[in-house]
């Protein structure tokens, strides 16, 4: 399945209410290699097969904003962006004494929604 990484990236950013101006840096997840944001449209303008098979886009590629980032997600070779937002601690968080639930439960579900 043919995909243009630039188009995919711009769409993923727009879906989250962000623009290119919200990007602080692009590179690998440990910050040792960067893509100049000014060259984003040139460097990301590549076609790749986003379908199942081998991953073609760098697996450690991230796009970082002020309180968010996007990282590459891959399942059996099918690739896409995964949007992440920096977790923020609530002013008065509730305490929990359990983290194990049934299957695919959230902490709130494990605690009975209380």
Handedness of CA 51, 31, 6, 65 (dihedral sign): positive
Tokens of 27: 């590179």
Domain ranges of the chain: 2-85
Percent of residues, the chain, with pLDDT higher than 90 = 64
The band of 113, judged by pLDDT with boundaries at 50, 70 and 90, is low
What is the reported pLDDT for 102?
84
d(CA 35, CA 28): 9
* Interval 59-103: pLDDT, tens: 999 999 999 999 999 888 789 999 999 989 999 988 888 888 888
What is the rounded average pLDDT for all residues in the chain? Answer: 91
Would you state the torsion angle of the CA atoms of residues 104, 107, 113, 114, taken in this order, to the nearest 10 degrees? 170
Predicted structure pTM score: 0.81
């Amino acid at each position: 399945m043919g995909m243009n990484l630039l188009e995919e990236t711009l769409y993923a950013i727009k879906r989250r209410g962000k623009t290119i101006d919200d990007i602080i840096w692009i590179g690998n997840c440990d910050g040792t290699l960067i893509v100049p944001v000014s060259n984003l449209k040139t460097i990301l303008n590549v076609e790749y097969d986003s379908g199942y098979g081998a991953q073609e886009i760098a697996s450690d590629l991230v796009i970082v904003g002020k309180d968010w980032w996007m990282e590459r997600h891959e399942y059996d070779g099918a690739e896409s962006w995964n949007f992440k937002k920096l977790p923020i601690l609530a002013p008065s968080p509730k305490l929990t004494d359990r983290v194990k639930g049934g299957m695919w439960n959230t902490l709130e579900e494990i605690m009975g929604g209380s």
